[in-house]
Structure 1
């Protein structure tokens, strides 16, 4: 049996046989969480509810809930094992502003009707395009005017050469599932506009990742 959180990447499947710790450990979280946090400090409201879609291991929710004690953090995921990991990390942290995780499938009706901001980190490329469309549809319905939708991950751009590492990553994702793969920024923006989500700005991030920021139109 293994003790302690297991290394895990989104989409990698269940825990190893014999694991007794429900917590997941996503190595990418430690590499990107502070760069993401720097942007969120500029963009999030001072109070309200922040919904994280596809929270995965739950480590981002822990990190951000600690950084923003005046915001209520609502983690979610569609994977039962991820929900167990989030719950375990949450219990260990004991933060009053971190809510129990909820099951949320981006392609299905959402269990929440309102959120003041929505985050989605590293889901768009490790899911079918229908999940991105569901995310945008749900965000358009839940956010108030001016509410933030924040997306993070690797993307393709029409006018920018794609890094070789991202091209290789895209090929590996499609080999695992033909419905996965890096999405074009321009296609995401167009789909967001159809849900009354206006494109705010793009921020280049470390390791050839991007932050895409959208605001719910008035």
Structure 2
């Protein structure tokens, strides 16, 4: 099959990789939630060979992800796993979790489910990195994000840019503490949480 392609993945992969190089330097096993086309999985796994990069997504995206993984033939990319956040999750434990451009696509109940499920699949010191747009106390960070949010809600009433504080509250309830918040190109952010052993 022709591999699916996202221009956004090509644009954002290097800035994201810089964050992953720093925060995942001592990690070993990463669960990527919502791997989409599979482009990120291949790029990051090739650049970070010390990581086993476990891609995952809903069933209809798995063939495209497999096409990217098969073409790259990397030793650290096992077959993609089916993951619907409201259903069954791949068995862990993972010491790192990564997701890009997913929270604003999911319904809020699915975002809640995502964070609630993390303790069951992660190690006691796991890191979670989520890339995408965030609001701050209900305010948009840019006019372009305001326009993007309007576009999202025209596509589906369940979609919206999420408020950073509300997401932090979900992470905190699951035992994860915010340790970094990195400004990224195009008014996006990489937010990093660490699981507290307590």
Fold similarity call, TM over 0.5: yes
Pick the aligned partner of 1:147 from 122, 126, 130.
Answer: 126
Q: Is the 8 A contact 2:133 2:187 kept in 1?
A: yes
1:95 equivalent to 2:74? Answer: yes
Query: For residue 133 of structure 1, what is the aligned residue in structure 2?
Result: 112
Pick the aligned partner of 1:195 from 171, 174, 187.
Answer: 174
Pick the aligned partner of 2:26 from 37, 46, 64.
Answer: 46
Say which SS state the counterpart of residue 113 (structure 1) adopts: coil
Greater RCO, 1 or 2 (C-alpha within 8 Å, sep 6+): 2
Larger radius of gyration, structure 1 or 2? Answer: 1
In the comparison of the two structures, how many residue pairs are matched? 197
Query: For residue 35 of structure 2, what is the aligned residue in structure 1?
Result: 55
What value does the CA root-mean-square deviation take over the aligned residues?
Answer: 1.4
Cα distance in 1 for residues equivalent to 2:128 and 2:27? 16
Cα distance in 2 for residues equivalent to 1:84 and 1:152? 24
- Structure 2 residues not aligned, in runs of 5+: none
Cα distance in 2 for residues equivalent to 1:132 and 1:52? 15
- Structure 1 residues not aligned, in runs of 5+: 1-19
TM-score under structure 2 length normalisation:
0.95
Deviations 1:64-116 (A, max 9, x none): 00011121110000142x21111001110010111100000112231223111
Q: CA deviation at 1:159?
A: 8.1
Moved more, 82-91 or 43-52: 43-52
Cα distance in 2 for residues equivalent to 1:180 and 1:144? 30
Deviations 1:31-79 (A, max 9, x none): 1110000011110143521110000000000000001112111000014
Moved more, 102-111 or 24-33: 102-111
Query: For residue 87 of structure 2, what is the aligned residue in structure 1?
Result: 108
Structure 1 residue runs of 4 or more that deviate by more than 4 Å after TM superposition: none
Query: For residue 167 of structure 1, what is the aligned residue in structure 2?
Result: 146
Q: Which has the higher helix share?
A: 2
1:182 equivalent to 2:161? Answer: yes
Deviations 1:103-156 (A, max 9, x none): 001122312231110001000001111221122122222221221100000110
